Every structure is written in C-alpha cells, then in structure tokens.
Amino acid sequence: MSHERLLDYLNQRRIIYRRLPILDKPTACFDWGYFYEDGTHECYDLFRSKAKITSYRSLKWHLLVLWYLNPQLDQKAFNNLAEYICNKKNGFITFEPPDDSVSKIVYDVSMKDLEQPPKNKTRKIIFKYQCKLSLSEKLSIVGQMIGKTKRVTEADIYDMMLYINDNGQKITITKIAKLLSCATRTIHRNITKELKDEKELLNQQNEKVQHSQLCEV
C-alpha cells in the first residue's frame, strides 16, 4: 500500500522545502515561470514529484537540504523532522531505516556548514509553484525553450527527464531527443553516467508509483 506525503507537519511548522534561486537572475521571466540560459544550481524543490526517497544517499541529501533551508531549526526540532521524514507511514520514504542509522545521518548533516549550499543539479527552467499549466503543457514549454539554444547540455537533458517523469511517462533517449529536437546520438554524447543512473532511478520510481496505483484500484 502506498502512502501520500503528509506535508501538513512541515507546513504547520513553517518548514521550507522549496526555494527559488536567490543570487542567480533569470534570463527571462514569464507568467508560468523563469528561464535561466546558463542554468542555476540554486533551485531547491523537494517533494515536487510522486517519486519518494529510496536510498540512504537520497535521504541524507533531502535532510541536508532541509537543514540548509531552515537555519532557524535547533537540534531537537531537526531530530523530530528527520524522524518524521523517516517514518514510512508519512509517505516520504519507501523503506524504514533503523534508529541508529537515522541518528548517524542526522549527526553528519547537522555538522555541515550552513554557508555551503548542498550539491544540486543545474536547472534551466523553473515553473512557478502556483502555475496551472498541465504537465503536458509544461513539457511542451521545456522543449520549446531549450530547443532555442544552440547546443544540448546536461542541464537540458536533466530538465527534460524531470518533466517526462512528472508526466508519468518512461524516460527514454528517443523521447528526450524528440522533445529537444535533436538526434539521439546528441543525447548519447551529452548524457553523463550520473544522468544515466538518475534516469534509471526515476523510471524505477515511476513504475512503483504506477504499480501502487493499480493495486489501490
């Protein structure tokens, strides 16, 4: 049985889990969002898709981002937040890490320098939170905006992967190439091992979400 994320706990405590870029300025602004021609690492947008935390590495990164975005948290409040995220019934994670593992991760994260932003993938297109466009409409915009650039970059491929996944579709090289109006060999040439691993992970998570939905029908 799948569990929907219970975000009320975070919202009631004013926990920040989404933040637009602060220092990086958009190349263009639209009613639907922002375009960064050179990309930005400053966009943090946790719990946006249906994909859940599936590994200790992902768990640590999510907690690190929460710690970074919420400097007002003391150690006790952060411990409580981590325990909530790690409770499978609350819908954020697919496994149940033992208490000692959670404690170690929390300790490691809390020792990090808050002045140093967590490692983040580059994004070129960011939609506003209240944007009412459908996922297919967003996918079309991503293809159009990125298609205007002269060359395909890792950030372009990653943006397209995210929106294909959000649209509930399987990510393939052919789909990415078609939406970016380029040859499949261009994608093969520019996709990194990290992006390949991310592609496989997103597809696996999407399959699990679809399977859970079928089981609940």
Q: Each residue of 137-189: pLDDT tens digit?
A: 888 888 788 766 667 888 889 888 888 887 788 999 999 998 888 899 999 99
pLDDT of 181: 83
pLDDT in tens, 78-104: 999 999 999 999 999 989 999 999 999
pLDDT (0 to 100) of residue 215: 56
Q: What percent of the chain has pLDDT over 70?
A: 93
pLDDT band at residue 196 under the 50/70/90 scheme: very high
- Predicted confidence (pLDDT) at residue 214 exceeds the cutoff of 70: no
Task: With CA atoms as reference, report the closest residue to 91 among 211, 200, 199, 212.
Answer: 212
DSSP character for 118? P
The Cα 201–Cα 203 span in angstroms is 5
Q: What pLDDT, on a 0 to 100 scale, did the predictor assign at position 1?
A: 43
Angstrom distance (rounded) from CA 170 to CA 164: 7
For residue 56, give every residue at least 6 positions away whose Cβ sits within 8 Å of its Cβ, in sequence order, or none.
Answer: 97, 101, 105
Spatial neighbors of 207 by CB under 8 A, at least 6 apart, are none
